Amino acid sequence: MDEVKSFLKEFNEVIRECGKFCYMSRGKEFQQEAVKKLMTLKRKAMSLKEKMIKVENEDLANTMLSLENLIDAMINELKMWIALKEDKPNEAWDFLINAQSAVRTAAQAHEIAINLNAEGYGNKLHLLEKLLFPPQIFFSPGFVIKKAECSICGKEYGECEHVVGKAYMGKICYKIIKEVELREISIVEYPADKHARALQFTDDKGVTRDFMTWRRIEKDE
């Protein structure tokens, strides 16, 4: 449809323009401005997606879901740079992880992400993780799912034809966990969720420090 085509043109322009500010050295005020521009673009993408869902055009609904997530990834990258300048590395980490998962969702949603080089963007975000932050300690919960529902149709997962990670009419299918049995928490190198990490540690002298900044954390008694 023409509407999606003209949106794509606008998308390419705004992404090119805002991509100029995805560097540490750029002025914070330009990065904040770029976030605003991208938020407006994201709202447009979402309403166009809703429109495509309404007319039941699945291919275009999924296309819009993909674009929406690519925009979201850049918003989060810019917020990461801003947070780093504001000396908030823990927040910056969360923005980076959000950006990474948005790129993954974009790639799952529609193959348009391949043409828009989502893979290259994902690689850049992976490099930033390694270059900007010290190695992290991640926690991974080991559990057995006893009961899960399909997010698309609400049936018990496995009893319908929907597959986790695939897009259906503008939505990614995931399991809604209804019953779970937690087995253990383990420390892993490659976790499913990089938000779950050690925030502080206590050294052999009994000093507690922020894992990211090395700053001392005073315990309030």
Dist CA 120 CA 122 (whole Å): 5
Question: How many residues does the structure list for the chain?
Answer: 221
- Cβ proximity to Zn ion, 22 vs 160, nearer residue: 160
Nearest to Zn ion of 28, 155 (CB atom): 155
Does 22 bind Zn ion (CB under 5 A)? Our answer is no
Q: How far is the CB of 152 from Zn ion (least distance, A)?
A: 4
Of 103 and 150, the one with the shorter C-beta distance to Zn ion is 150
- The answer for 137, left when phi > 0, alpha when psi is -120 to 50, beta otherwise, is beta
Select from 17-25, 41-49, 156-164, 193-201 the region that touches Zn ion (CB under 5 A): 156-164
**CB of 126 or CB of 155, closer to Zn ion:** 155
Q: Which of 35, 45, 152, 172 binds Zn ion (CB under 5 A)?
A: 152
150 makes contact with Zn ion (CB under 5 A) = yes
Question: Residue 171 Cβ, how far from Zn ion at the closest point, in Å?
Answer: 11
Residue identified by tokens 């018990």 is 156
114 neighbors 67 (Cβ within 8 angstroms): no
The least distance separating Zn ion from the CB of residue 168, rounded to whole angstroms, comes to 8
**Amino acid at position 180, single letter:** V
Spatial distance between the Cα atoms of 73 and 71, rounded to a whole number of angstroms: 5
Distance CA 101, CA 122 (A): 9
Of 154, 140, 72, the residue nearest 105 (C-alpha): 72
State which of positions 44-103 bind Zn ion (CB under 5 A): none
CB of 159 to Zn ion, least distance (A): 8
Residues of this chain that bind Zn ion (CB under 5 A): 150, 152-153, 160, 162
